[in-house]
Each structure stands twice: as C-alpha cells, then as structure tokens.
Amino acid sequence: MEATTFVLFGATGDLAKRKIYPALYNLYVDQKLPQSFSVIGLGRRELSDETFQANVEQSLRMFSRREAKDPVVLKNFVRAFRYSVLDVGRKEDYLKLLKLIEQQEAELRMEPNRLFYLSVGPEFFETIAANIQESGLGSANGWKRLVIEKPFGHDLQSARDLNRNLSKAFTEEEIFRIDHYLGKPMVQKLEVLQQSHPVLQALWGNHSMANVQITANEIVGVEERAGYYDHVGALRDMFQNHMLQLLMMLTIQLPNNSTSENVRFNKKQVMDSLEALNKEDVRSHVVRGQYGAGTIQGKSVVGYTSEPNIAANSQNDTFIAAKLQIANDAWRDVPFYIRTGKRMKDKSTRIVIEFKEPFVQAQSNDEDLTPNLIVFEINPNEGISLQFNTRDPQQQREFRPIHIDFHERGDNVPEAYENLIGDALHGDSTFFAHWDEVELSWQWVQPILDAYEENLVPLHRYEAGTYGPAESDELLAKDGFHWWFDDKPEQTIESIKGERYAYYTNR
Ligand SMILES: NC(=O)C1=CN([C@@H]2O[C@H](COP(=O)(O)OP(=O)(O)OC[C@H]3O[C@@H](n4cnc5c(N)ncnc54)[C@H](OP(=O)(O)O)[C@@H]3O)[C@@H](O)[C@H]2O)C=CC1
Ligand SMILES: O=C1O[C@H](COP(=O)(O)O)[C@@H](O)[C@H](O)[C@H]1O
C-alpha cells in the first residue's frame, strides 16, 4: 500500500477515541496499514506529542476489540502519531501543518500522499476543505483524499451547497463520504452474496418475493446528543442515509466481478427508480413517532420531551416507518417497509425477505404454516437464516419449517470503521456514499421533511420499550403483512418450531 499521512481533524473528539484509533490499531495489528504511515492529530487543545500518544493508547485500552496490552506493540503503533494545534478558521495553522507534514514526509522519505479525515462538526467541512486548498496542503505531488463524516447536509439544498463547495477543493473521486452502515460486514456481504450464490440469485426479485422489511431498532434514546438530535430526528439521522443505503445495497443488480463504478451506477439506478412521494402522499406512506416514557429491559426510562435539553413541546421524530416501491423490472410490486426508532424493545438491525406462497403451500390445510423467509441479521449479531417449509417425514401431509443459519464467529470480525478506513487508504470507494446517491436520497426524503414541517403527518407517541406506534403495524396490515419477529420477542428464528441447521464460517 502506498505511503500515507493520515491528517485527522478532531483528534481529541469522541469519534476519534471510540472508533478511529481502535480501527487504525486493528489495521496495524492485521498488517493492513501502509509500511510508511504517519498520523497527524489536530484540535484546538494544546497537547504535546507524548500526551497525544498516551491519550491514543488509553482509547485503545477502552475501545479496541483487541486487547491493547503488549507495550511493545503499542509503542510501535503510537510512534507514528504527532499532534499539532489547529483552529479550523485560522489560516496560519494550516501553514504550520503543511510544514510539519513536509518535515515528516522528508524524514520518513514518504511520498506526499495525504488523507484528510474530518472528524469534526459539519459546520466546519467547507472551511477546512477551502483552507486545505488555499494553504497548498493538497497540491503536492502525491494523491489527496477527503474522508468526511455524516451528516452530509440537512436537506436537499444544503447537501447540494455543501457538495458544490467541497468540489472546489476535491474531485468526487477524492471524496469518501462515510456511512458506517456500509462498513458493516454483513452489509458488505450483500453485494457478494447476490453475485455468487445461485440460490439467492434465483430467488432475487419480484417473481418470488412478497415483501421486504428493513429494520434498525435501537434501545438507546437521545443520550447526550440533544443539541444535535433535536434538530435532526430519525428521518435525517438514520433514514436518509443508513436505511436508504441498506435498501440500495439489497436491491442493486451487479455484474460478476463488479467494480466500484458498477456499484455507484447501480445504486443510482435504484434511487432513480424509487417511486417519488408527493407531500400530500406522505401521510399514507410514512408513520412518524416520538417515544414516551416506558420500561426497557426492566428499567424505567423517561419520554423524549423529558430528556435533558429537549424542549417540553418538541415535535421531533424519534421513529419512522415508511413504505417504498421501486419501479423497475426486478422490483416492481414488491413493497419495501423500512423502520427505525429509538427506545425500542430491543437492538436489532435486520433485513427480512418474505417470499410469496408457493402453490404447494396454498393447498396445505396447516394453518400454522409460516412463510418462507430469508433473514439477514446485521446487528448486534451477524448471520443469515433461511426458513423454508418442508414436508414432515413422519406426518406425510404436514409441512413444518426448517431453518438454516449461517453465522460468523463473533470474535474476529472487523468493525465497520476498520473496513472503511482500510478502503479509504486503498482508494476504494465501493462502500462509501457517492454524491449521486446522496443527492437522490435527499431528493426522495425532501417531501417528507416538507410534510413534517407543515404538520401534514401526525406525530404518534409510542411507549418506550415497544416496537413503535400501532400505526407502524397498520402500514403493513393494510397490505396483509406484519413485521416479522415483533410481538413475540421470544420468537426469533432460532426458536420457531422446526429442525435447525447451523453453519459457522470463519471466513
Ligand atoms: N461520536 C460519534 O459516535 C459519531 C460522530 N459522527 C460525526 O463525527 C464528527 C465528530 O464527532 P465527535 O467526535 O462526536 O465530536 P466531538 O465534539 O467529540 O469532537 C469534536 C472535535 O472537533 C474539534 N474542534 C471543535 N471545534 C474546533 C475548531 N474550531 N477548530 C479545530 N477543531 C475543533 C474538537 O477539538 P478541540 O476541542 O480540541 O478543538 C474535537 O476534537 C461530527 O461530524 C459527528 O456528527 C458521526 C457518527 C458517529
Ligand atoms: O449514525 C448513527 O447510528 C447510530 C446507530 O448505529 P448502530 O451501528 O449502533 O446501528 C445511531 O445511534 C445514531 O443516532 C446515528 O447518528
């Protein structure tokens, strides 16, 4: 891998400590970092290199999935870390940074390849990009890349403005927009599975699927993020980015050995085919919710408007469920139900595909017959389960479900940030959010934002510790479906009556 200087804006922040340093450390231990690699951390706080290195070590002890105990390994790792004070608006700080980088590159005989990682608030993105450009930080003889955290805009117009301004300093190929759901191992497998698995290939699409359900339930509430979350809500925080990315990754149709370009092109096609909503249609396709007080896993929790720093009359959404349709040959007539919410009964991110009833089942008298399903478990556990009905060998006419589970052994799975940072270092943008799809996502979401703003969609209160408002169930019931694995929390795919086959892979 090419020599790289990793320039981290926001090096003293929460994301750096919890995700970025552990990811870099795990890549280092797995020998996936370039041979010549240096990190320059930036922030307003005055820190010596030694204190910065000690802070990095501390964050590894707290947050790395690998034990960070071996003092020799740790020392070798943090040796690559330097710190420089930089206030994003102070131009002289960028010149000082340029000097430090050039000095490091000369000392280590590194090519001037620079990756700028913006782990700072979105209000700084444009200023930093412009200052990188003006100071000459990005005009060396090597490559430059910009890794940018969410949120990418607040609505369609602000996203377009942000993109236009970033484009003055970086080309689209140089911009890596992080959506950490795209780094999750199971999400990355969706692409490969479709291309390489003949059974899945044969089943993929509207000829056999009855509906698709994409869920991201969270137990946590607003946490300490009131200032951010109360202006954003579930629609902007989760739906516009993570949930629509899951939809795209599931429904793209790729040629064998697809490239990053194929992925980008096909995701755009999916978004282009998504049936647009008018502001007036939103009410019949979208359920907006906000959590009230309740009990989760035996603990009482307060309602959203009683959370610290949330206004008592806040109308912010903490839950959304929506029905979407893709008007192309592969997916026409398959409803996609997507939901995400805070303070739900359990933490579960999963995709459930429910198949149409085959003829043989329609003839069966067994009322307990369960539909055939494929379940992609994304979080907290990862795995794929197939539930297929088969004849019971002892009771000739009866059907019963069998389950086939493929589970990854949990201890050695890379985290989303490891995958994504590794890809950015390689210059591979397959699992990043490209501008076309970001713009089309905002375009699709904009009528919902408008309808919320004009109060055209009721805000349903739901009790914390449930699966959201009853209206979310009605959204599916209207079409004759129900959310899988709700109501009967004990009814996971593992516990439904039937034989079960489990395969574990260590790939
Ligand atoms: N934390 C998380 O889990 C997630 C965060 N994100 C996104 O990542 C980004 C960073 O979040 P997070 O780490 O939580 O934020 P924090 O508030 O914890 O950290 C912000 C960082 O920005 C630096 N900073 C603030 N103002 C300036 C300034 N004027 N000049 C230079 N540096 C400045 C701070 O350093 P100092 O105070 O030393 O100046 C600090 O290092 C945000 O865009 C957030 O939305 C995205 C997903 C998850
Ligand atoms: O981006 C975000 O994601 C988290 C949920 O991520 P997960 O990996 O735990 O599913 C969410 O809590 C947060 O509000 C949002 O900003």
The rounded distance, in Å, linking the Cα atoms of 486 and 480 is 16
Instruction: Find out whether 303 is annotated in a ligand binding site.
Output: no
Both tokens of residue 145? 């890349």
Q: Look at ligand 1, atom 34, and give the residue with the nearest C-alpha.
A: 10
pLDDT digits (tens, 9 = 90+) for 257-309: 788 899 999 999 999 999 999 999 999 999 999 999 999 999 999 999 999 99
Cα-to-centroid distance, 167 and ligand 2 (Å):
27
**Which residue of 182, 232, 238, 419 sits with most ligand 2 atoms within 8 Å of its CB, as the best mutation to test the pocket?**
238
CB 80 within 8 A of CB 37: yes
Residue 382 beta carbon below 6 angstroms from any ligand 2 atom: no
242 given a catalytic annotation: yes
End-to-end CA distance of the chain: 23
Instruction: Find out whether 15 is annotated in a ligand binding site.
Output: yes
CB 58 within 8 A of CB 15: no
Instruction: Find out whether 13 is annotated in a ligand binding site.
Output: yes
**Which residue of 154, 237, 244, 343 sits with most ligand 2 atoms within 8 Å of its CB, as the best mutation to test the pocket?**
237
This prediction's pTM = 0.93
Residue 305 to residues 21, 68, 291, 310, Cα–Cα distance (Å): 35, 40, 9, 6
Dihedral Cα 425, 11, 441, 287, nearest 10 deg: 140
Q: In tens digits, what is the pLDDT along the chain, a chain of 507 residues?
A: 899 999 999 999 999 999 999 999 999 999 999 999 999 999 999 999 999 999 999 999 999 888 877 889 999 999 999 999 999 999 999 999 999 999 999 999 999 999 999 999 999 999 999 999 999 999 778 999 999 999 999 999 999 999 999 999 999 999 999 999 999 999 998 877 777 778 788 889 999 999 999 999 999 999 999 999 999 999 999 999 999 999 999 999 887 778 889 999 999 999 999 999 999 999 999 999 999 999 999 999 999 999 999 999 999 999 999 999 999 999 999 999 999 999 999 999 999 999 997 655 555 555 556 788 999 999 988 888 887 766 565 655 555 666 666 666 556 778 899 999 999 999 999 999 999 999 999 999 999 999 999 999 999 999 999 999 999 999 999 999 999 988 654 444 444 334 443 433 332
Instruction: Find out whether 473 is annotated in a ligand binding site.
Output: no
For 31-80, where are the E strands, in sequence order? 37-43
The rounded distance, in Å, linking the Cα atoms of 342 and 291 is 7
Atom of ligand 2 nearest to the CA of 241: 1
Instruction: Find out whether 93 is annotated in a ligand binding site.
Output: no
Residue 349 beta carbon below 6 angstroms from any ligand 2 atom: yes
The rounded distance, in Å, linking the Cα atoms of 406 and 352 is 15
State whether ipTM is beyond 0.90. yes
Cα-to-centroid distance, 16 and ligand 1 (Å):
8
Both tokens of residue 255? 């040629």
Q: Which of 242, 285, 403, 434 does the annotation list as catalytic?
A: 242
Cα-to-centroid distance, 66 and ligand 1 (Å):
24
Cα-to-centroid distance, 85 and ligand 1 (Å):
14
